[in-house]
Amino acid sequence: MISSPHRPTVIHVDLEAITYNIHQVQSSLNKKTKTFAVVKANAYGHGAVAVSRAIESQVDGFCVSNLDEALELREAGIKKSILVLGVLMPEEINLALEHDICLTIASLEWLDLAERKGIDLTGLSVHLKVDSGMGRIGFRTANDVNQALAILEDKAALVEGIFTHFATADEASKEYFDTQLSRFKTILTGLDWVPEMIHASNSATSLWHKDTVFNAVRLGLVIYGLNPSGTILELPYDLKPALSLESELVHVKVLSEGEAVGYGASYRTTEEEVIGTIPIGYADGWTRDMQGFCVLVDGESCPIVGRVSMDQITVSLPKVYPLGTKVTLIGTNKEKVISATAIAEKRGTINYEVLCLLSDRIPRDYL
């Protein structure tokens, strides 16, 4: 989708807040712990290239979800290590080799497929993924990992790391977390040899299970300044949300009582009412269920009335404001705050999804 910079709707990204958040996590961990910044999905909507450039000196490497995201970073001149967390089909690995991109190997079937396709793994850097209970990708037994280690050694690939991923690190109950941890440890104990880098920590694990960090962390949401548990667990230290979303009033009118607003004419004014229009809609990731939520205008909370359209929303204003008046959809406006977490609660989802859905149509502006 083409970005629309000639429209007042814009995402501001505070890169210093991201630097601050990484520093906050790093200060809480053993100094030798390596830091991988997770910048998949366009850095959770913040802009992968700008974020990666800003923090490259602060981290040991980056994680992305697929090869194209890795190539985008290499093309932008990012030099540090990049690990693709998802599974790549074997025929794509030449590009990974060419651009020095590290891959995740998650099954013996994959190694077998690569063998049958005659694919040369020489010099390929890999991390092995262990499925300790997430049930998505990864080896489930030490025996399978040992076979993979032997095959990869034989094919002259470089096994740099081994990792797992927790399903419940953001929850109050530790039970399933401990089950996964003990399975991962059992597998590590059963290995013929253990790769140098061992990592299990996403944001939630780094925040609330610090004793479980092996020797590297993969930090996603926390670097963008949000709480991975939503509002369930308290943050152990301060974080600064890096993203705000703003627009402007492009139309303001006074409707008399009984007038309709929006598709379906589902909203009717019950008295004289000031209605403002803001150029953002579900095509920007401002989904239809935002009807009934609010935006901030001049420090006032203004309800979104009528249906959310593809490109516009309508809000009820306490008075007539001039065209061009600033509207805050995520962030702070005269002491009042709307967080991505509050939006997620309204939608019955998680703050991750709120950020990732903000579409490329909204330009990103960097402070």
Ligand X SMILES: *Cc1c(COP(=O)(O)O)cnc(C)c1O
Which positions lie near ligand X, rule CB under 6 A? Answer: 38, 40, 85, 165, 202-204, 218-222, 228
Q: How far apart are CA 49 and CA 74, in angstroms?
A: 9
Q: Residue 15 or 87: which CB sits closer to ligand X?
A: 87
Going by C-beta distance under 8 Å and a sequence separation of 6 or more, which residues neighbour residue 34? 60, 61, 197, 199, 215, 216, 217
Is the distance from CB of 103 to CB of 126 less than 8 angstroms? yes
**Least separation, in Å, of the C-beta of 13 and ligand X?**
16
**Least separation, in Å, of the C-beta of 38 and ligand X?**
4
Going by C-beta distance under 8 Å and a sequence separation of 6 or more, which residues neighbour residue 75? none
**Residue of 117, 237, 263, 334 marked catalytic:** 263
Q: Residue 67 or 305: which CB sits closer to ligand X?
A: 67
Burial class (CB in 10 A: 0-12, 13-18, 19+), 160: middle
Q: For tokens 């007038």, name the residue.
A: 259
- Does the active-site annotation cover 263? yes
CB atoms within 10 A of CB 266: 12
**Least separation, in Å, of the C-beta of 40 and ligand X?**
6
The angle at the Cα of 123, spanning 121 to 125, to the nearest 5 degrees, equals 90
Q: How far apart are CA 121 and CA 107, in angstroms?
A: 15
Nearest to 340 by CA among 243, 270, 197: 243
Is the distance from CB of 111 to CB of 93 less than 8 angstroms? no
**Least separation, in Å, of the C-beta of 282 and ligand X?**
24
Q: Residue 298 or 353: which CB sits closer to ligand X?
A: 353
Is the distance from CB of 362 to CB of 3 less than 8 angstroms? yes
**Residue of 34, 40, 129, 282 marked catalytic:** 40
Going by C-beta distance under 8 Å and a sequence separation of 6 or more, which residues neighbour residue 335? 299
Is the distance from CB of 262 to CB of 309 less than 8 angstroms? yes
Q: Determine the residue with CB nearest ligand X.
A: 220
- Does the active-site annotation cover 366? no
**Least separation, in Å, of the C-beta of 144 and ligand X?**
19
Sign of the alpha-carbon torsion through 353, 248, 308, 317: positive
Q: Residue 222 or 343: which CB sits closer to ligand X?
A: 222
**Least separation, in Å, of the C-beta of 366 and ligand X?**
21
Q: Residue 218 or 307: which CB sits closer to ligand X?
A: 218
Q: Residue 321 or 352: which CB sits closer to ligand X?
A: 352
Q: Which residues are catalytic?
A: 40, 263
